[in-house]
């Protein structure tokens, strides 16, 4: 025959329910029912998740501060580099600036060949503007092709129109 042993009941230390002794779970010296163990575990899980969230938030803030600091350093470095390049370009431009052109004064009364060259250029411009024809006299070149200040030098030159398209210009001293 099978002997029947009476079942022993205990009380849950958390909620006070009566439970079988073999179904009771011992936690830190307390006997708890299954429902109280689940509630306790949920509270512990919630607390662990909350602690983990706080740790993640702190780590995120620390990483964000570190990234921001590195970005600021990079910006300062790039800005400094740009200023250095700008200063270098300015120094290079200053050292390599062109020297001003010195104007040269030519005394036309002493240099009749220069006057003759200027008049030949004016005659060529006249010819291009008038279908290849040359003027009858040098006076027709003033003021469009020659300045009035060259008119006194016409006396020292000999201009002859050979045909509509040809001329001879010589110094009086060459004749």
Structural domain for 125, as ranges: 112-174
The closest of 14, 37, 10, 36 to 22, measured between CA atoms, is 10
Q: Residue 174 above 60 pLDDT?
A: no
Residue 164 lies in a domain: yes
Residue 45 lies in a domain: no
Residue 144 lies in a domain: yes
Tokens of 84: 């250095």
User: What is the pTM assigned to this prediction?
Assistant: 0.39
Q: Cα(70)–Cα(13) distance, rounded to whole angstroms?
A: 56
What is the number of residues in the chain? Answer: 175
pLDDT for res 175: 46
Domain count, the chain: 1
Decide: 146 and 118 in contact? Cβ < 8 Å. Answer: yes
Q: Cα(114)–Cα(106) distance, rounded to whole angstroms?
A: 9
Residue 74 lies in a domain: no
> What pLDDT, in 10s, does the model give residues 52-97?
999 999 999 999 999 999 999 999 999 999 999 999 999 999 998 8
């Amino acid at each position: 025959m099978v002997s029947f042993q009476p079942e022993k009941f205990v009380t849950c230390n958390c909620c006070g329910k009566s439970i079988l002794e073999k179904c009771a779970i011992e936690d830190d010296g307390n006997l708890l029912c299954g429902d109280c163990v689940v509630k306790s575990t949920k509270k512990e899980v919630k607390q662990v998740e909350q602690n983990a969230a706080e740790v993640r938030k702190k780590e995120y803030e620390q990483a964000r501060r570190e990234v921001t600091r590195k970005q600021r350093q990079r910006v300062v470095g790039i800005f400094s580099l740009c200023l250095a390049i700008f200063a270098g370009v300015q120094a290079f431009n200053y050292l390599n600036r062109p020297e001003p052109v010195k104007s040269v004064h030519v005394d036309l009364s002493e240099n009749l060949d220069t006057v003759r060259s200027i008049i030949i250029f004016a005659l060529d411009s006249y010819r291009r503007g008038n279908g290849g024809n040359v003027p009858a006299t040098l006076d027709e070149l003033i003021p469009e092709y020659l300045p009035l200040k060259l008119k006194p030098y016409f006396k020292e030159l000999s201009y002859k129109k050979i045909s509509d398209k040809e001329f001879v210009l010589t110094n009086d001293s060459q004749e």
